[in-house]
Structure 1
Amino acid sequence: EKKKKKVADNRWTARNEKQAFSHPWLLTTLKGHTGSILDMDFSSNGKYLTSCGDDRAVFIWDTKDLTHKDRKSLRVNIEFDYATLVKWSPDSKAFIINKFNENAVEVYKVEKKKDGWLQASKALTFPKAHETDVIGMGIASNGRFIMTCSNKTDLVLWDLKGQKLTQIDTYLMNTTCAKISPCGRFVVATGFTPEARVWEVIFNKSGEFVEIKQVKQLTLSGHSSGVYDVAFDVDSSHMATVSKDGTWHLYDTKVNYKLGEDTRIIRSGKYEQASNNALIALSPDAEVIVIATFNTLSFYSTLTGQLDYT
């Protein structure tokens, strides 16, 4: 009995510590989810933040009211399933989720009600295309395609109506990350191999899909072990990677690859806790890299390669 009580006390202490979290940069805490939060995304117009969790809920938060106690939020319930990934459409009028059990993309339309706040309704469910967990999902900024990728090697492009455009093999043995570049032209995937691979998605002048082809000149190489994650600056002219080998790289990707120019590493650095999955973010101006490991964020200057803040 004493042992059981001790465990309960420890859990209570851990819960109190979570609730008492404070930091000079902390703006607010958004409460509503009753389970683990798995993904978040800001709408392109900056007005909304959406989050999804294993509690079968997606929340939309009004960013204008973030500091208000009576802030606006909308809870969208996911029937008999939950969302592992969530992404806003470029026009901020819809969002898509990846459903865990069904392993399929679902589209939700977002509209304004008479009172000025939002309502969301399910619009479309895509057919299942992957047999294993989906680890990457995105919508191109030009609105031309949606991408999904599994933790194996199957990467699928869709049109906005849920029709499959094509499917490719990433040849990464296991894929850890797949993203669409901010310019909407490229898809990048990372995994077991020590480089990030880049594909160009090509449409003709009338907007019809032509092909997706690997651009070997844009391959992000230089690591000695698997790559966990990739990030972009605002115009896709720089990309950054973080690897199991304990290093991060910043690449100049504004090259004329059609004339054979290759990407080049312009800054590298080391980070702590390299034995665990890490995430990376790159500031819009490509001057700051942030790496997340466990519950720690580390800020690095790409001008010096040095750690600025943890």
Structure 2
Amino acid sequence: MSLIQDDPTLERHFKGHRDAITSLDFSSNMKQIASGSVDACVMIWNTRPQMRAYRFVGHKDAVTSVQFSPSGHLVASASRDKTVRLWVPSVKGESTVFRAHTGTVRSVSFSSDGQTLLTSSDDKSIKVWAVHRQKFLFSLNQHINWVRCARFSPDGRLIVSASDDKTVKLWDKNSRECINSFCEHGGYVHHADFHPSGTCIAAASTDNTVKVWDIRTHKLLQHYPVHSATVNSLSFHPSGNYLITASNDSTLKILDLLEGRLLYTLHGHQGPASCVSFSRTGDFFASGGADEQVMLWRTNFDSVDYSEVLQQKGSEVDTGVIDMNQTAHFPSESPHVCDSCELLLCHGNFWKAEFKV
């Protein structure tokens, strides 16, 4: 049963970057959004009206990734200048910097306890760091091309990575071994992340598709050929029921993972949509694009307090996206999209998952 009652709505535009937005993230209290840009700056936007934005200058080249620590007391940023910076997101904008890789650093990601930082790079490596004193712990080195993205699982035991070698790799953090390589994408893989339950991963590719795998059986669960250009970014709703994507076709798309269908196509950005992220509670999401804009959207997924829904659905979320004993079979045709709709929810023409037990 879907929780959706109203269409998502665009709440605010944030303008201040001087080049394409590359990455964004919400603070845990939803009061701030961090963004990174090709203009080499990190900006901290306050979601409350009339609160000023902070511009942090320090990187010598494009900022490729930003993320708040779980506590919200730090923001990590990665850059083409081969460094990582840890910022205090206040008016002073103080930061510490360390040279993390021998090539462009593509992504930064904190573990759920905030003690560990994960970085990935064009030097084909993934590195794990202790946040305290930025101490290097170990690296993972089986990719044979640029590593665009690396993320910890919710429990911190696993790592997923996405690469221009067209693979998504799953790693055991403790043994430092590659558990599996998912090779079904036909293009470079730009982004990957874990489902909130930790049982599935999703990846976005230059082959215009998003794919979802079960990490226990290593089987492909869902395949979404819903975009007409490279998919740059994706974000799971904290309930685990929805996935949002951003693409070079300038659209954002919201997918219903339980029913295996496209719910919404959102038009807002002029030119490629480069990044998208749900807030920690899921009642908002933000998007960034080549148009130098950060957009804040209200999800409108439910009229009640979403924390109550998360509690009610706790046992359901733990089981993953779908019953893992089921296999998804999809028609070959792509979903029907209404060109006349700015913000659409079309009925009857969706590309649906048919589950065979």
TM (normalized to structure 2)?
0.64
Offset of 1:34 from its aligned partner? 2.8
1:308 aligns with 2:266: no
Contact preservation (8 Å) 1:240, 1:251: yes
1:148 aligns with 2:119: yes
Contact preservation (8 Å) 2:24, 2:33: yes
Corresponding residue to 1:105 among 84, 89, 94 = 84
Larger RCO, structures 1/2 (Cα 8 Å, 6+ apart): 2
Name whichever of 172-181 and 152-161 sits farther off.
172-181
1:84 aligns with 2:56: no
1:212 aligns with 2:176: yes
1:51 aligns with 2:35: yes
Looking at structure 1, the residues matched to 113 and 201 of structure 2 have their Cα atoms a distance apart, in angstroms, of 19
* More helix, by proportion: 1
- Provide Cα deviations, 1:194-246, integer angstroms capped at 9, x if missing partner: 541111222xxxxxxxx522223xx4454455433213232323321234444
TM (normalized to structure 1)?
0.72
Corresponding residue SS for 1:35: coil
* Larger CA Rg, structure 1 vs 2: 1
Matched residue, 1:13: none
Name whichever of 33-42 and 244-253 sits farther off.
244-253
Name whichever of 34-43 and 243-252 sits farther off.
243-252
- Provide Cα deviations, 1:78-116, integer angstroms capped at 9, x if missing partner: 265553322212221111222433x111222345xxxxx
Contact preservation (8 Å) 1:39, 1:51: yes
- Give the aligned residue type for 1:28: R
Offset of 1:36 from its aligned partner? 2.7
Q: Aligned pair in 2 of structure 1 residues 230, 99: CA closer, same or farther (>3 Å)? A: closer
Looking at structure 2, the residues matched to 88 and 77 of structure 1 have their Cα atoms a distance apart, in angstroms, of 17
Matched residue, 1:265: 220
Looking at structure 2, the residues matched to 51 and 228 of structure 1 have their Cα atoms a distance apart, in angstroms, of 18
Alignment of 1:1-310 (within 5 A): 25-63=9-47, 65=48, 68=49, 70-78=50-58, 80-81=60-61, 83-101=63-81, 103-110=82-89, 118-122=91-95, 124-126=96-98, 128-160=99-131, 161-202=133-174, 211-216=175-180, 219-220=181-182, 222-253=184-215, 255=216, 262-274=217-229, 276-294=230-248, 295-310=250-265
What CA RMSD, in Å, does the superposition of the two structures yield over aligned residues? 2.7
Matched residue, 1:114: none
Contact preservation (8 Å) 1:232, 1:281: no
Offset of 1:49 from its aligned partner? 1.0
Contact preservation (8 Å) 2:120, 2:148: no
Q: Aligned pair in 2 of structure 1 residues 107, 243: CA closer, same or farther (>3 Å)? A: closer
Contact preservation (8 Å) 1:250, 1:302: no
Looking at structure 2, the residues matched to 199 and 31 of structure 1 have their Cα atoms a distance apart, in angstroms, of 38
Looking at structure 1, the residues matched to 207 and 24 of structure 2 have their Cα atoms a distance apart, in angstroms, of 27
What is the identity percentage for the equivalent residue pairs of Structure 1 and Structure 2? 24
- Give the aligned residue type for 1:166: F
- Give the aligned residue type for 1:46: M
Looking at structure 1, the residues matched to 191 and 87 of structure 2 have their Cα atoms a distance apart, in angstroms, of 27
Offset of 1:150 from its aligned partner? 1.0
How many residue pairs are counted as aligned between the two chains? 257
